Amino acid sequence: MSSPITCIEDLRRLAQKRVPRMFYDYADSGSWTETTYRANESDFQPIKLRQRVAVNMEGRSLRTTMVGQDVAMPVAIAPTGLTGMQHADGEILAARAAHRFGVPFTLSTMSICSIEDIAAHTQAPFWFQVYMMRDRDFVERLIDRAKAVNCSALMLTLDLQILGQRHKDIKNGLSAPPKPTLANLVNLATKPRWCLGMLGTPRRTFGNIVGHAKGVGDMSSLASWTAEQFDPALSWADVEWVKKRWGGKLILKGIMDAEDARLAVDSGADALVVSNHGGRQLDGAPSSIHALPAIVEAVGGAMEVWMDGGIRSGQDVIKALALGARGTLIGRPFLYGLGAMGEAGVTKCLELIARELDITMAFCGRTDINTVGRDILVPGSFPLAS
């Protein structure tokens, strides 16, 4: 008899058993020495919460808004590449779970299921994440496709102009679908549940790119296209161009510096995400939670500040809110749930985080998540704006 799932770590362990090594490692690793990847998680631990007593804890609410959209809690599903390789039709399943729970789902450009797949299988508006590519016509068509299915916000990722040094992906020969090497075949033989799922779906490549980008008709042409397409010349002028082309709510992801945060405000975007790409880009950068206070101070309320990186519980969420974030994004936690149990696992992930957030808020003497501030933290236990 299997033991009950009580925390995100339980989902992680189960995902590790069920997902092929190259895709599990893709989700659960960082760049170079993984210093920043580990710090994202560990830097939450020293932050201490003030426990309050004899406070009426009835009638609690986690409801709030993110870029004007009502959400069940201040948590959104982050855009993650290759989600449909953690579990067959992974993006569709995660989008469904998020919609039912009442939190936003963000589809990555580098997803397995396409924009149109998500729109056809879910009734809710979702967010779409885009990278700046050298092929501006392709980026324009991506934005227009997101408009056509009524995506409610566009997220522009700014920190992937060049790819971080990801050793595990190189060693595993990461590809979608996996290359039939001996090592991969041996590993796949130990993951029958995953293999059966993949046999039952036609979605095994990058649905937003293959058949849409010029000269990309299959996986072999995709590899060379992606190597050439991420644009190292990305500038704030490009951000302005995207905003004008899109015309709706724009979120900028990958801000880690107060000076860049002020430039983000000047760009006219609606929100920014304090993010180091899950520790997968610049190893040696500070953790997201450590960078958050200075960025909140620099923005000064001119736009919404969110954060991602290292969140593994509702307690992490409330610590981020206490330090000034208006919302948070989760990547690895929902991927663990997806790899472990499919759609039910994503739902379980959201339930766990919501319950931990609700209970922690009550212990801190709050009943409305919108009233959480720095005064719920023990002075001296958290990073200050520099």
56 inside domain: no
What is the number of structural domains in the chain? 1
For 199, half-sphere exposure in the C-beta direction (CA atoms, 13 angstrom radius) is 7
1 inside domain: no
Task: State the pLDDT at residue 1.
Answer: 58
* Residue span of the structural domain in which 247 resides: 8-47+61-361
Q: Which residues are catalytic?
A: 277
379 inside domain: no
Contacting residues for 76 by C-beta, under 8 A, at least 6 apart: 66, 98, 103, 104, 105, 106, 127, 306, 327, 328, 329, 330
Cα–Cα nearest to 288, from 304, 265, 305, 302: 305
- Residue 213 has which token pair? 């980008």
CB 96 within 8 A of CB 122: yes
Q: Which residues line the annotated binding site?
A: 26, 79-81, 108, 129, 131, 157, 166, 253, 275, 277, 280, 308-312, 331-332
DSSP string, 19-70: S-HHHHHHHS--STT-HHHHHHHHTTTT--BPP--S----S-B--EEETTEE
Task: State the pLDDT at residue 214.
Answer: 87
CATH number of 17's domain = 3.20.20.70
Lookup result for tokens 């709510």? 249
Task: State the pLDDT at residue 333.
Answer: 98
221 inside domain: yes
Contacting residues for 364 by C-beta, under 8 A, at least 6 apart: 49, 50, 51, 52, 318, 372, 376
Q: Which residues line the annotated binding site for FMN?
A: 79-81, 108, 129, 157, 253, 275, 308-312, 331-332
Provide Rg for the chain, Cα atoms: 20
381 inside domain: no
Task: State the pLDDT at residue 291.
Answer: 98
DSSP percent split of the chain into helix, strand, coil, nearest 5: 45, 10, 45
Contacting residues for 186 by C-beta, under 8 A, at least 6 apart: none
Q: What is the pLDDT along the chain (386 residues), one digit of tens a residue?
A: 578 999 999 999 999 999 999 999 999 999 999 999 999 999 999 999 999 999 999 999 999 999 999 999 999 999 999 999 999 999 999 999 999 999 999 999 999 999 999 999 988 899 999 999 999 999 999 999 999 999 999 999 999 988 888 998 888 888 777 888 899 899 999 999 999 999 999 999 999 999 999 888 766 677 678 778 999 999 999 999 999 999 999 999 999 999 999 999 999 999 999 999 999 999 999 999 999 999 999 999 999 999 999 999 999 999 999 999 999 999 999 999 999 999 999 999 999 999 999 999 999 999 999 999 999 999 999 998 86
Work out the number of other CB atoms within 10 angstroms of the CB of residue 92. 25
67 inside domain: yes
CA–CA separation, 320 vs 49, rounded Å?
12
Q: Is the pTM value of this prediction over 0.75?
A: yes
Angle between helices 343-363 and 8-18 (to 10 degrees): 160
375 inside domain: no
- Residue 151 has which token pair? 């995506």
| 224: helix, strand or coil | helix
Indicate the Cα dihedral angle 255, 258, 263, 264, nearest 10°: 40
Which neighbouring-strand residues pair with 65? 70
Q: Which residues line the annotated binding site for glyoxylate?
A: 26, 131, 166, 277, 280
CB contact burial 76-88 (16+ within 10 A = b; e otherwise): bbbbbbbbbbbbb
Task: State the pLDDT at residue 220.
Answer: 65
52 inside domain: no
Phi-psi region of 122 (alpha: psi -120 to 50; beta: other; left: phi over 0): beta
Give the 3-state secondary structure of 277-299.
HHHCCCCCCCCHHHHHHHHHHHH
Task: State the pLDDT at residue 223.
Answer: 67
Cα–Cα nearest to 381, from 45, 6, 42: 45
